[in-house]
C-alpha cells in the first residue's frame, strides 16, 4: 500500500523520496505553515491508498460524491494503522 501525508512543511517534503520506507516512530516531517497549505490551520492529512492508478505524487485527498464508493474501496480507513478511535468517547 501507499500512504499520503498531506499538509507537511515544504522544507520537509523536499527531503522525502518516492518509495522511501519509514519505520514506527521515525520523524518524516512537521506541520506546514498555514501560508504553505491554503491558509488552513496546521494539521495532518493521512491517507492509505491501495492502488495509485495513474497518479504520481498528486493522489486526490477529496472526491466528488459520485466517486465516493470507488475511493472508499481504494482508500481503507486510516485507523487500521493509526488506531486512534480507541480514544474517542462514543457515549456523546
pLDDT at 31 over 80: yes
Report pLDDT for 41: 92
Beta strands in the chain, from DSSP E residues, in sequence order? 2-6, 45-49
- pTM here is 0.78
| Gap between the Cα atoms of 59 and 70, Å rounded | 13
The Cα–Cα gap between 34 and 63 comes to: 23
The tens digit of pLDDT for each residue in 55-85 reads 987 899 889 999 999 999 999 999 998 999 9
Distance CA 74, CA 91 (A): 30
DSSP state of 26: -
Amino acid at each position: 500500500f501507499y500512504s499520503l501525508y498531506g499538509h507537511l512543511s515544504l522544507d520537509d517534503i523536499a527531503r522525502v523520496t518516492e518509495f522511501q520506507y519509514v519505520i514506527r516512530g521515525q520523524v518524516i516531517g512537521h506541520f506546514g505553515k498555514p501560508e504553505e497549505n491554503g491558509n488552513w490551520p496546521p494539521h495532518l492529512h493521512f491517507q492509505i491508498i491501495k492502488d495509485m492508478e495513474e497518479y504520481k505524487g498528486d493522489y486526490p485527498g477529496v472526491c466528488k460524491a459520485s466517486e465516493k464508493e470507488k475511493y472508499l474501496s481504494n482508500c481503507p480507513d486510516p485507523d487500521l494503522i493509526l488506531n486512534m478511535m480507541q480514544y474517542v468517547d462514543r457515549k456523546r
